[in-house]
Chains A and B, each alone.
Chain A
Amino acid sequence: MSAQNNETTYDTRRQIIVKRVVRYTFVYTILTFFALLVIIPFYWMILTSLMTPDKIASPVPVMFLRFRDMQFGNYYEAMFAPEAPDFIRYMANTVLVAAISTVGTIITTILSAFAFARLNFKFKELFFLLLIATMMIPGEMFVITNFITVSRLGWVEMVGQQYHHAILAMTLPFMTSIFYIFFLRQTFKQVPDELYYAAKVDGTKDFQYLWKIMVPIARPTIITILILNAMGTWNAFIWPNLVATRPAFNLVSNGLREFATAIEFLPQEEYIGQQMAAAFVITFPILVVFFLLKKHIMRGVSRSGIKG
């Protein structure tokens, strides 16, 4: 009797193992399939950026390149050739705009998140509700009037725009963010009240308390905000496209798009290599930042979904 029992246990166990192997094979296969779908456009960008026009135009796509066939000249031509767009300059513009708007955003965000998390004041609830309601409104509503505002300030000259005007127009409207205020307020609220009272007893001023205690405690959240904001600027397209009227003041996305538009009716295969090289040059810094600071970025993004 016991022998038979053992046999069934053995059989069920075997069944379970087989089932598990089948399941895991299925899961890993399908995940790999989707991972490939995600990677292919990036792979294709890099691959094409290293191809000669005749390889690009090959009706049977070239899927791999040997090292000696790689056309690194595409990168040189996209970046430095006299007739190519000035991507070095666009990158400098983008870094400057990202730095200014990120510093501005972080300052205004820290100050108001502190007020919402730590201080009590009249109309607090009302103001808070107002801000939440604002987040539901599509950004285009703001963009139209903001374009009018910066135009009236004289920053969007259609001819001969000045550099500092373009920079102001591209940064000032983005120096605060309701979303980040809420995000940081959540973190600030987790700091125990006792710390605040202890600091009060010691005669610490509110601002010192914020700067010396709250900010260091909330450092991970602040870093997340810094990165997300800077990456947002790097990928910004719509607003700079409206307010930067001289090609020299382009941000990277706008420069890339102008390049693509310029070659639309030319024999494309002659230029696609350079275009993909330029595309990869502006994608690469984002990838580096992403791989270095993955944890901060993914944490921030997955948390932003939970508030619902």
Chain B
Amino acid sequence: MTDIDTLAPASHLKRLEAESIHILREVAAEFANPVMLYSIGKDSSVLLHLLQKAFYPAPPPIPLLHVDTTWKFREMIAFRDRRARETGCRLIVHINQDGVAQGIGPFSHGATVHTDVMKTQALKQALDKYKFDAAIGGARRDEEKSRAKERVFSFRNAQHRWDPKSQRPELWDLYNARIHKGESVRAFPISNWTELDIWLYIYRENIEVPSLYLAAERPVVEREGALIMVDDERMPLLPGEVPQMRKVRFRTLGCYPLTGAIESEADTLPAVIQEMLVARTSERQGRVIDHDPSASMEKKKQEGYF
């Protein structure tokens, strides 16, 4: 019998890392055709790092899937391709071609339609096309209320739907990976990490993240209180609207027209962490899509969103 304070079997981050590695290995061992959703942001960068550690010295037995909405920051795409090359991971990129054919985009169709068609539907298409039975994602329970309720192994029916009212019980670290043909599991290895844990781990492990997280002079316009970066010529400017160079950075990365920047002087990782320690808003605040109705994440998840 030992007290937890004196036992301290490992540091906090080491313990989180071990838990995530355990989950990743369970996915690899129990599913026939798993994939890891790679969305290029900080959480994905941590996931990719953990994936490499979990199977070391073997290369990760799980490929990466990026669902490309075609509206990501240009830097993200360059970063993605480089990281896949450097890590030797197999990268699958899926774009909803139906959506492209219909010309779906955030400016023409709005955030909700764009996200549904180019992200949620695209994800479902990709999972069906490659017949993945498990998809690993970087969602964390501290991000949002419905995620706080989700299991580590989150069961999805053949239509990819999440049923929050009858989740499988999940005791200890015993994950039930049994599914019928067509059904799938979304697995969340970093469920128990907080945003602060993610940044400290990135710092400690020296994990590379897109420089969009660091403050720099960038061309932005202000819309409905959000600072939107003009990342390419597809962004229609309103009459009289002129992009201004401001020193900004991003707390999360998504489609550039839907991701608000914050003004910041933090151009190094330690400075970003310091800024976050005194932050008064949560990271998802910058996400336009989350501000629909208050329960929108839950609804989107039921429809198959991550």
Chains A and B are bound partners = no
B residues contacting A by CB (< 8 A) are none
